[in-house]
Amino acid sequence: MQFMLKGVHWLNRFISWLLALFTAVMVAVVFSQVIFRFVLEKPLVWSEEVALYCLVWITFLGGALAVRNRGLIGVDALVRKIPAAGRLRIEILVQFLSALFFLVLIIYGTQTTIIVAGQRAAATGISMAWVYAAVPVGGLLMLINSLAWLADYTKEAKSMG
């Protein structure tokens, strides 16, 4: 179990690195577009597309880290009023239901990625599969982080008694 959690930790460090890279690319592209459009008066035709695709990947990769760190939006006001034993059951149920949703993202995201593989982006000409792949990849990373969170939570609950 500890080996798996260490692997997830290193995976999340890699995801953090990718997030920084995609963010830097997006900022550089948008900044360049502003310079080219308003200073040089020769707008870049591909910049909006690249920035948008970076944002898509940032969303799904960031979602994976948010799952692990419990940073996703949730309604915990009701859960806080429940006794600790019941709270544990609800947390586990929520993670289980989330894991099912992540499986749906993986399955349907993969199917959609395969369907759009022959399509090309208008400005950059890249395969749309690279863009749509963010859904199943993000779903898989969210599922891995959800299972790691469950492992941590279960270990913590056992130590509490």
pLDDT tens-digit readout, 2-40: 788 899 999 999 999 999 999 999 999 999 999 999 999
Look at residue 17 in the predicted model and tell me its pLDDT. 97
Kindly tell me if the per-residue pLDDT of 74 is higher than 80. no
Contacts of 24 (CB under 8 A, 6+ apart): none
Kindly tell me if the per-residue pLDDT of 70 is higher than 70. yes
Residues in the chain: 161
pLDDT tens-digit readout, 141-155: 999 999 998 888 776
Q: What's the pTM? A: 0.88
Question: SS3 letters for 44-72?
Answer: CCCHHHHHHHHHHHHHHHHHHHHHHCCCC
* The pair of three-digit structure tokens given for residue 65, joined into one six-digit string: 């880290």
Inter-CA distances, 86 with 93, 95, 103, 159, Å: 11, 14, 26, 17
Burial classification of residue 154, based on how many CB atoms lie within 10 Å of its CB (0-12 exposed, 13-18 middle, 19 or more buried): middle
Share of the chain above pLDDT 90, in %: 71
Kindly tell me if the per-residue pLDDT of 161 is higher than 60. no
More confident residue, 105 or 72: 105
Number of Cβ within a 10 Å radius of residue 39: 8
Kindly tell me if the per-residue pLDDT of 160 is higher than 70. no
For helices 2-34 and 47-68, angle between their N-to-C axes, nearest 10 degrees: 150
CB 128 within 8 A of CB 109: no
